[in-house]
Structure 1
Amino acid sequence: MTVRWTQLTDQDAAAWALLCARAEEVDKTGEHYDAEDLAEELADPLVSLELGTLAGWDGDVMVAAGLLRNRATANPVNRVYFDGVVHPQYRRQGLGRRLTEWAIETTPVVSRSRFPDAPMELHVQAHEANTVKAGLLTASGFVPQRWFFTMQRSLSGELPAPVLPEGVRVEGFDHARHDLAALRVRNESFADHWGSSPQDEESWKQWYTGTRAFVPELSYVALAGSPGADDEMVAFLLTAFFEADEVATGRREAWISTIGTLRAYRRRGLASALIATCLQAAAEQGYDQAALGVDAANPTGALGVYEAAGFAVDRKHVAYVREF
């Protein structure tokens, strides 16, 4: 077998989506992508198609793909993220190793193209059941550093009621009034989260409030102070909906993509109130379930908050890091 290697182009989203679908049939990671989702990946300004992508082809069938993504900022280190996938029928033939070696060799080039003098790390996640990938990463110098859980709950039956502390109110997300304030709260509230870097306006709009999956009707902000010029955003919740998930599973899922609370307002029930508001609205709008992701060692106690809201762990991923 001869595999032809190329860079990814903006015309390859459909072939890449088909590759991911074939892999998911075997890997059962719970991740589903359609061509539109991957077209957004290819259009990400933090991805260089020329420097940071690699695709393997058998004829006109994409059988392997890898992508490296810079972070928006390098504070204190540029964390380059690697996504790689190999078609199940082409595994155990060295393609995964080829992608991994390419990622290691190319990360310094990709990182320095944006941050010439910044230290760098290479990050990749692996589903806990994928022992082959875990072995490949470990043999390539990666170290497991963190566990991440995907949690789900049904939207049928009794749902938690929102309870807000005095002096705080919740409003639906409005781009014109809330977008940049939510970015500020996100960066401040995630400053003590492992692996997190500040987002800039471009990346914020690309992957948070400007992505096609963003659902403003299920996104909310918590405001403190009197309505008007004197109020302050102190917490927010963003929700996304992925059509590819519904097509693959038959279930309509509200994905709570980001929750942030300013440090001074933690431990007051704001995250719980925002989640409860979102769950009730999602149920009314015909969603079947809600889901979110969490760092198992999150210092804010997020795991307990989500469990109290009825979420249970559905699957686990391990974050591997290779330092340079």
Structure 2
Amino acid sequence: MTDDPSHTTAAADPQPHPQPRRIDVLDELAPPQAQAVLALIEEAAAVDGQAAVSEQGRLNLRGGAREGVRHLLVHGEDGALVGYAQLEDTDPVEAPAAELVVHPAYRVKGHGRALGHALLEASDRRLRVWAHGGHPAARHLAGLLGLALFRELRQMRRPLGDGDPLPEPVLPEGLTVRTFVPGQDDAAWLAVNAAAFAHHPEQGNLTQRDLADREAEPWFDPAGFFLAFRDSKLAGFHWTKVHSAEQLGEVYVLGIDPGEQGGGLGKALTAIGLRHLAYDRGLPTAMLYVDADNIPAVTVYERLGFRTHEVDLMYRTET
């Protein structure tokens, strides 16, 4: 929430002044509207140090309507776009999830609170909201909206320099590794991703369209997308990502087929990906995201030298 996932941060106004505004709720954005929203997100990120809307949220802005996704645009008295929120209602169990941001030049005017109330109305008061970075202003806005802390997502980082040696990958017997081939491996990857993240709908529900969206992004590089096979069956994968501007490598998605879990494949694939980021791409730092309550995963990553860098918080209605 910013008045800024996902990964939203809202720079809330402790005592907002009433301002004329119009909030439009749309199922689809025209290209000029999408570009205006993306520009707002970038301008806010330049001030906040972090994007208010997650990667998936930004992808949802493009390419027409998406099932379960609605866009809330706030226009000020002068007609300028001053705020944006996205509501995604695709989880069959959990409440709709939202992200929101207010342009830095229009903060402290109550637009964040107005967006929050509009989201509550649009979601029938069943709402989850991301606050990337866990800023105090976002916590304040969550309190004003009656939302309670629900989830903590940690961003962890570790250096990749010579002073922090990377482990040698040791694959379980019978497994081989190669890189992803777009078009050839899509279906197998989607199936294992769904199985590995059945408990995590944000990741496990990715579709062919979601995969294609990512393959079309400038950062996509199949040379950093590692697949482990047992004979011809996909057993697990490690998809890395490079944030070129920040010179930062990411453990983007690491997934293991349930039948292969517990045998050391995850550790081996993590090592393969980190060595690629360090030695093939020459990056100084690696990062990843992990839920704070996933103690086994946090422990594994800490043993690999990762430490908490910052946190994203999710708030929800208490229903």
Q: TM tier, shorter chain?
A: 0.7 to 0.9
The answer to whether the aligner puts 1:131 opposite 2:136 as a matched pair is yes
| Residue 37 of structure 2 corresponds to residue 16 of structure 1 | yes
1:31 aligns with 51
C-alpha distance in 1 between matches for 2:266 and 2:59: 32
Q: What is aligned with 1:178?
A: 185
Q: What's the counterpart of residue 81 of structure 2?
A: 62
Letter in 1 for 2:62: L
Q: Is the 8 A contact 1:69 1:82 kept in 2?
A: yes
Normalising by the residue count of structure 2, what TM-score does the alignment of the two structures yield? 0.79
Residues 49-105 of structure 1: per-residue CA shift (max 9 Å, x gap): 8x533233464643211111232xx44x25422110012332222100111111111
Map 1:93-242 onto structure 2 (within 5 A). 93-108=109-124, 121-127=126-132, 129-157=134-162, 158-193=165-200, 198-206=205-213, 208-225=214-231, 231-242=232-243
Q: Which residue of 2 aligns with 1:295?
A: 291
CA deviation string 1:183-203 (max 9, x = no partner) = 111111112348665333333
Partners of 1:253 and 1:44 in 2: CA distance: 31
Shift in CA distance, 145/4, structure 1 to aligned 2, threshold 3 Å: closer
User: Which residue number in structure 2 is paired with residue 116 of structure 1?
Assistant: none
Does structure 2 retain, via aligned residues, the 8 Å contact 1:24–1:31? yes
Alignment CA distance shift 1:98-1:288 (3 Å): same
Whether the aligned pair in 1 keeps the contact of 2:186 and 2:208 (CA below 8 Å) is: no
Q: Cα gap change, 1:184/1:34 in structure 2, threshold over 3 Å: closer, same or farther?
A: closer
Q: Which secondary structure does the structure 2 equivalent of 1:175 belong to?
A: coil
Offset of 1:25 from its aligned partner? 4.1
Gap runs ≥5 in structure 2: 1-18
Q: Which residue of 1 aligns with 2:99?
A: 83
CA distance in 1, matches of 2:107, 2:251: 34
Alpha-carbon distance in 2 for matches of 1:80, 1:211: 26
| Deviation of the 1:129 alpha carbon | 4.1
Distance 1:131 1:143, change over 3 A: same
- Structure 1: how far apart are the matches of 2:153 and 2:187? 28
Query: Following the alignment from structure 2 to structure 1, what is the Cα–Cα distance between the partners of residues 314 and 268?
Result: 29
Matched pairs, number: 294
**What stretches of structure 1 of length at least 5 have no aligned partner?**
109-119, 226-230
- Alignment-mate amino acid for residue 297 of structure 2: A
SS in 1 for 2:169: coil
Counterpart code for 2:220: F
Q: 1:203 to 1:45 in 2, by over 3 A?
A: farther
Q: Pick the structure with more helix per residue.
A: 1
- Deviation, 1:205, is 3.2
The aligned residue for residue 281 of structure 2 is 285
Task: Map 1:241-320; keep pairs closer than 5 Å.
Answer: 241-242=242-243, 246=245, 251-283=246-278, 284-298=280-294, 301-320=296-315
Give the match for residue 111 of structure 1. none
Deviation of 1:176 after TM superposition, in Å, equals 3.0
Contact 2:42 2:51 in 1 (8 A): no
For 2:52 and 2:126, the matched residues in 1 are separated by: 27
CA distance in 1, matches of 2:147, 2:243: 31
> Structure 1 33/141 Cα, relative in aligned 2: closer, same or farther at 3 Å?
closer
- CA RMSD in angstroms comes to 3.1
